[in-house]
Structure 1
Amino acid sequence: MTVTSIDVLDSVVDITAQTESDTISESLITTILQLTPANQVLVLDYNPDTNPDFMVVACSDIFLFEEEKDAIERVLRSCVAIGDNVVEYSKTDNQSLLAVPIRFGEKDDIHAVVFCKCDQVKGDEVQLIEGLAKIYENYQKIISASERDGLTGLYNRKVLTTKIDLLLDRFLIQGSSITDDPTHHHWVCIFDIDHFKQINDTLGHVFGDEVILLITAMMKQNFDDEDILFRYGGDEFVAIMHPQSREDMEATVRNFFDAVNNRDYGQAKNVSISMGAASINDQELNAITVLGFADQSLYKAKQNGRNQVAFYEDLIASGELKSLVPEDDVELF
């Protein structure tokens, strides 16, 4: 395969034309397939503190990971262990397996791996794939910064639905349900600060921002590292919680409420929050549906006295809410 400098330049243009993390991954896969001997490509997130620690973000073959999981994970783990490219030749099917680490974050740790399966790969072809992965890595850092809220550092509203839909898609790609334990679910929690407008009106927006930052700090302290935290806008926040039982989920939320209620806010005196929560399962239609469930529950929590959490499933069971019938083209926020 002859690759010209124009081909490489065009591929860089294609990758950097994307504006979201997930579409960049798809563009990287397309580029590697076009410019190298690779016939199958995976992009996987890596987090040693989660189970599974490798999670498919994007792929050229939806069945590849499940069908060749042992061989792929062996190469991925070797790549992470040495912190560098790994090439392994498979005599069984005369294919080369290549893994290239992707580094993000303040500590420049490995947070993702690009995996390629290809015909025997040469040194310059490995270098080309490594170079494309480095372009991907650098541009992901730029995009990641744009996905964060400027005040709190949490994810912003722009990527909320994308993150939930990606969560659902990943489990479909890897051939699994949301969780193997039917009593464990991902959870979406939406909450806001009770009477926050009064804080801004009486004490000023600078003081209001300080309250926002205190709430953010308590979120980071009380939610798990696996949970994904967002500032939806103003005094509204969202947490996507990792798979767990409702009992464990409620314990986390209870600790968070206690932290908020017991905090000294100075002139603001008492500050409280109201929250709506809903479980995510692989039967849900999309992110908008799940967020709609939690948002309806938040409304009920506020209606029933504030400073409390309301669960969508409980409200449906009690008849306080009727089942939401979503329309795919209607935004619920």
Structure 2
Amino acid sequence: MALLHLLKGAESISSLRDRNAAAAMATTAIVHLFQPLTFWWLRSETASDSLLMVSRTGPNGVWLSNADKVGGTERLARDDLYQRHPRAREAIESHRTLHVPLANGNYSVLLPFFNPADKLDSLLVAECREPLNPEQQDGIFCFLHFYANYLALLDYGELDTLTGLHNRKTFDEALERLLACQPEFVGPGEKRSVDASHPFWLAVLDLDYFKRINDTWGHLFGDETLLRFSRMLKETFRHEDRLFRFGGEEFIVLVRAQDRDHAQQSFERFRRRLAATEFPQVGTVTCSVGFTQLDPARPAIDTLGCADQALYFAKANGRNQTCNYEALIAEGRIEVHAPVEGGSGLGFDIDDYFA
């Protein structure tokens, strides 16, 4: 029966493209296999030494996952993990599952799972009434291997090959889902709606004078600039913020912030950090930013058009600045965006218009 449940879980996950829903389904399949009293599922992050909390036991025994963004994405530094679970280091370094007897008669289970490159992929930390048997361990390992392969396939279809950020197709789908206010998974069997008190904000970021970099230093340095820019995006924004390469030197960031000022602070923090960074050979690189609040009553193409219009204003008025569409409208500095049909106007280098 346990094997059948795992197979059904794999079948359900393979039909999904939503990572949060897939994580919830995977958690359900895993915990059903050995019925833990408490449970943490941690996954390694390639860009840091911290571990991402995929799911855990929350208040009153409710399963929570990182689809629940109200409290922010949970991460755990390895030192913090070792402090909470001193034998976690032993389990990871020895590549074996540990069953540690507890004073209450239960067992603390520490199960590490490694990818084919022998790097830690996942660590399960659970309290169980009895140790896992070999069949349970094998079932968990097989399922984690399947889940890692599933995520790798998603990455192949959703990520930009140069920068590793989400690509244009993924952005189109993500924006449509957000504007439609589709419910998100909190944990297995539970759903919630987007928290209206913390709206989403969409920003278009465009590197200033990027064509000059390509023309002066060549496309290899241009690609290196895009890579470093993308890496800085990942380092500056939160895990739950969504980062996309829209095309060329144009990028899109989706953040959740309680108001316009907090959203602007997020984008400004990145813009200032970029302007203060020296790029090899190229020197100083800046970007212009236009952003707007997501409004379910406004079609996706018009939402993008509003952020695009704020970006145009930033470019036309000196570049290297962050402009908000709603603020510009309120100040009478631009006209209300006219609904359009067809594709976005970001398919060309807008620096050409403000040379």
Confirm or deny a common fold (TM above 0.5): yes
Q: Which residue of 1 aligns with 2:275?
A: 261
- Which digits, 9 at most, give the CA deviation of each residue in 1:82-140, with x for residues without a partner? xxxxxxxxxxxxxxxxxxxxx999742489xxxxxxxxxxxx9xx99998897565323
Which of the numbers 174, 178, 186 marks the counterpart of 2:195? 178
Q: Using the alignment, how far apart are the partners of 1:161 and 1:104 within structure 2?
A: 33
Q: Using the alignment, how far apart are the partners of 1:132 and 1:284 within structure 2?
A: 41
Which of the numbers 288, 293, 318 marks the counterpart of 1:305? 318
Q: Does 1:142 align with 2:153?
A: yes
Q: Which residue of 2 aligns with 1:292?
A: 305
Deviation, 1:242, is 2.4
Q: Which residue of 2 aligns with 1:119?
A: none
Relative to structure 1, the CA distance from residue 130 to residue 163 in structure 2 (aligned partners, 3 Å threshold; closer, same or farther) is farther
Q: Using the alignment, how far apart are the partners of 2:65 and 2:313 within structure 1?
A: 50
Q: Using the alignment, how far apart are the partners of 1:190 and 1:75 within structure 2?
A: 29
Relative to structure 1, the CA distance from residue 149 to residue 207 in structure 2 (aligned partners, 3 Å threshold; closer, same or farther) is same
Q: How does 1:199-214 map to 2 (within 5 A)?
A: 199-214=213-228
Deviation, 1:249, is 2.3
Letter paired with 1:331: G
Matched residue SS, 1:244? coil
Relative to structure 1, the CA distance from residue 109 to residue 132 in structure 2 (aligned partners, 3 Å threshold; closer, same or farther) is closer
Q: Which residue of 2 aligns with 1:197?
A: 211
Letter paired with 1:207: F
TM-score, normalised relative to structure 2: 0.57
Q: Which stretch shifts more, 187-196 or 283-292?
A: 283-292
Letter paired with 2:245: R
Deviation, 1:75, is 11
Q: Using the alignment, how far apart are the partners of 1:279 and 1:143 within structure 2?
A: 28
Q: Using the alignment, how far apart are the partners of 1:292 and 1:75 within structure 2?
A: 33
Q: Using the alignment, how far apart are the partners of 1:296 and 1:175 within structure 2?
A: 33
Q: Does 1:218 align with 2:229?
A: no
Relative to structure 1, the CA distance from residue 129 to residue 254 in structure 2 (aligned partners, 3 Å threshold; closer, same or farther) is closer
Letter paired with 1:305: G
Q: Which residue of 1 aligns with 2:259?
A: 245
Deviation, 1:71, is 7.0
Q: Using the alignment, how far apart are the partners of 1:247 and 1:229 within structure 2?
A: 20
Q: Which residue of 2 aligns with 1:331?
A: 343
Structure 2 spans left out of the alignment, 5+ residues:
30-40, 44-52, 67-112, 125-134, 347-355
- Which digits, 9 at most, give the CA deviation of each residue in 1:240-261, with x for residues without a partner? 1123332222222222222221
Q: Does 1:318 align with 2:331?
A: yes
Relative to structure 1, the CA distance from residue 72 to residue 326 in structure 2 (aligned partners, 3 Å threshold; closer, same or farther) is farther
Contact 1:165-1:287 at 8 Å conserved across structures? yes
Q: Using the alignment, how far apart are the partners of 2:212 and 2:139 within structure 1?
A: 57
TM-score, normalised relative to structure 1: 0.60
Q: Using the alignment, how far apart are the partners of 1:75 and 1:212 within structure 2?
A: 32
Deviation, 1:160, is 0.6
Q: Does 1:273 align with 2:287?
A: yes
Aligned residues: 278
Deviation, 1:203, is 0.7
Q: Does 1:230 align with 2:241?
A: no
Matched residue SS, 1:275? strand
Deviation, 1:14, is 9.6
Q: Which residue of 2 aligns with 1:73?
A: 63
Matched residue SS, 1:274? strand
Relative to structure 1, the CA distance from residue 137 to residue 21 in structure 2 (aligned partners, 3 Å threshold; closer, same or farther) is farther
Letter paired with 2:195: I
Deviation, 1:13, is 8.9
Relative to structure 1, the CA distance from residue 219 to residue 140 in structure 2 (aligned partners, 3 Å threshold; closer, same or farther) is closer
Contact 1:19-1:143 at 8 Å conserved across structures? no
Contact 2:305-2:337 at 8 Å conserved across structures? no
Relative to structure 1, the CA distance from residue 265 to residue 135 in structure 2 (aligned partners, 3 Å threshold; closer, same or farther) is closer
Percent of aligned pairs with the same amino acid:
32
Structure 1 spans left out of the alignment, 5+ residues:
33-44, 48-52, 56-68, 77-102, 112-123
Matched residue SS, 1:108? strand
Letter paired with 1:155: H
Deviation, 1:284, is 3.7
Q: Using the alignment, how far apart are the partners of 1:304 and 1:20 within structure 2?
A: 41
